[in-house]
Amino acid sequence: MRKERFTINELQERLRDKDVINIGDVEYAILETSGQISVILKPNKRNTIPEDFDIMPEYEGISYDLIIDGKIMRDNLKILNKDYNWLETEIGKFGFKPEETLIATLDGKGNFFCQKKEGKKDA
């Protein structure tokens, strides 16, 4: 670290950027040639994953954008075998119209999400 003029304070800052608060949780911190830090946590401090418990999660698939800032993504509706009427019905359940929608998505499990645009505020 001295050779690279890299201080403990800089190391701690970089670790915090990687959500590592306690330097004692780190097994290795590697200063890469790019200047980035690669962090390998001690085994008991690593995040668990389903494989650790011999669990196989369901496939989640990809989330498709259906509306972005009021613009309907017709190609994505077609891929999903959906049409405008279906979209209008789904958004209507939330009490607004497709053109009033900031974003609408459908994920691989069929979960529909939408958010209404906020109205303009008077100055």
Structural domain contains residue 108? yes
The confidence score (pLDDT) of residue 81 equals 96
CATH code: domain of residue 27: 3.30.240.20
Query: Are residue 70 and residue 110 in the same domain, yes or no?
Result: yes
Query: Are residue 76 and residue 33 in the same domain, yes or no?
Result: no
Q: What is the mean pLDDT of the chain?
A: 90
Rg, the chain, Cα only: 23
Query: Are residue 40 and residue 70 in the same domain, yes or no?
Result: no
- The residue segments making up the domain with residue 30 are 8-48
Model confidence pTM above 0.95: no
3-state secondary structure the chain: CCCCCCCHHHHHHHHHHCCCCCHHHEEEEEECCCCCEEEEECHHHCCCCHHHHCCCCCCCCCCEEEEECCEECHHHHHHCCCCHHHHHHHHHCCCCCHHHEEEEEECCCCCEEEEECCCCCCC
- Mean pLDDT on 115-121: 77
Structural domain contains residue 3? no
pLDDT category, 93, cuts 50, 70, 90? Answer: very high
Structural domain contains residue 41? yes
Structural domain contains residue 53? no
- Mean pLDDT on 5-27: 91
Query: Are residue 41 and residue 69 in the same domain, yes or no?
Result: no
Lowest mean pLDDT among 20-24, 48-52, 56-60, 106-110: 56-60
Query: Are residue 72 and residue 107 in the same domain, yes or no?
Result: yes
**pLDDT (tens digit, 9 = 90+) per residue, 30-71?**
988 888 899 999 999 999 999 999 999 888 889 999 999 999
Structural domain contains residue 98? yes
Domain count, the chain: 2
Structural domain contains residue 122? no
Structural domain contains residue 1? no
* Residue 123 confidence (pLDDT) above 80: no
